[in-house]
Chain A
């Protein structure tokens, strides 16, 4: 306890000197460098992570911009397509209308021509018949009564025809 004890004093001094020497020589160095290295590593990792975060944020912005661009592009294309379709439709419609009108006009033309033709033909026929009738009348001149009857007959015939 409190009485002087020489061995303990001597050995404490020697042990402490030895301990300090041993710890300085190969004790704390590796531990301290390990602590320092770990600190460095952690700091670097944090910096790297921060860097990566900024990079990814930048990329995300880039992609968002590109996406918006692409979306606008698509909208434009669709609008253009719609416009084109609309134009095409209108064009086709006008064309068709014109064609229809043309066809109607043609048909009317044809009809008119046909009617004229028919009238012309009829006229020729009537002329022919008149000639034939005249011949017949000449053949039966003797019989005035028959002649008259013939004209009568013929006229009635023509009347039926016309």
Chain B
């Protein structure tokens, strides 16, 4: 057997291996296979037994991570709030407090306003922490990133969409909100063009929120998965360190992305809500 033949054989074998790895990887992302109902080996309740009122309440990996993120947020915020004294004690408390202060001063206050911002802090802060911890917990190998799934991001985006539409209608009146969608004092015929554009732009807001978060997170996971898949594809000790090193770099970048995406989602939500509440601004 010549060297070329051996190489071709290896490549063929590698391609098959890589293909199965990618299939396997995509199966891991899917929430409809049996994989989705095991979280680190713990079987999760699912199936027809979990259907109530015609709604599927099955618990899958992503749902577990959503709830973990929820309780982690409540726990950490509660822990920080009970720090006592004027200065937070401990590094964890300081870190959470810095995040809360950042959300308050840089996300909520400039967009919604200082006074009204107080009421909106749990909403925007909840979005931020839920997405942040969803992103970060999803980075743990073997876990699942609910924020890399369109179902979660779309749900949050639709909640934000409903919030700003309803707040706009509450603050400006149902007709006032619709009237204020387009600028005043333009020729009548222009409104026939402007209103469709404005309505589309209103709908584009939740769509972009949902797709941005979902696509960023999913892309990050796929890139890491593909880099690690290269190791199996080549099956060589000499090649392996390079994809591995890149995967580590990408992993660090994903941690950064986790914060950035949570920040973007929170700031855009507060921007939309603030704009609906104060149309003149």
Chain A interface (Cβ < 8 Å from any Cβ of B): 1-13, 15-16, 18-24, 26-32, 34-35, 37-38, 41
Q: How far is the CA of A47 from the CA of B98 in the complex (A)?
A: 25
Residues of A within 8 A of B126 (CB): 16, 19-20, 23
Q: How far is the CA of A13 from the CA of B55 in the complex (A)?
A: 13
A-B residue pairs in contact (CB < 8 Å), sample of 25: A1-B150, A5-B32, A5-B149, A5-B151, A8-B31, A8-B62, A9-B154, A9-B155, A11-B67, A12-B152, A12-B155, A13-B155, A15-B66, A15-B69, A15-B70, A16-B70, A16-B156, A21-B122, A23-B121, A23-B122, A23-B126, A30-B82, A31-B81, A34-B83, A35-B97
The stretch that binds A, out of B10-18, B72-80, B175-183, B224-232, is B72-80
B97 touches A20 (CB 8 A): no
Q: How far is the CA of A158 from the CA of B208 in the complex (A)?
A: 163
Nearest residue (CB) in A for B67 is: A15
Q: How far is the CA of A45 from the CA of B58 in the complex (A)?
A: 56
The minimal Cβ–Cβ distance linking B205 to chain A, given in whole angstroms, is 18
- Which of B88, B122, B150 lies in contact with A24, CB distance below 8 A? B122
Cβ of B1 < 8 Å from any Cβ of A?
no
Given contacts A9-B154, A23-B126, A35-B97, 5 further A-B contacts (CB under 8 A): A7-B58, A11-B57, A13-B155, A27-B74, A31-B81
Q: How far is the CA of A2 from the CA of B63 in the complex (A)?
A: 15
- Which of B31, B70, B129, B130 lies in contact with A5, CB distance below 8 A? B31
Also in contact, A4 and B151, with CB within 8 A (given A12-B66, A27-B122, A34-B97): yes
Residues of B within 8 A of A8 (CB): 31, 60, 62-63, 66, 146, 149, 151-152, 155
Most buried by B among A11, A21, A37: A11
Nearest residue (CB) in A for B80 is: A31
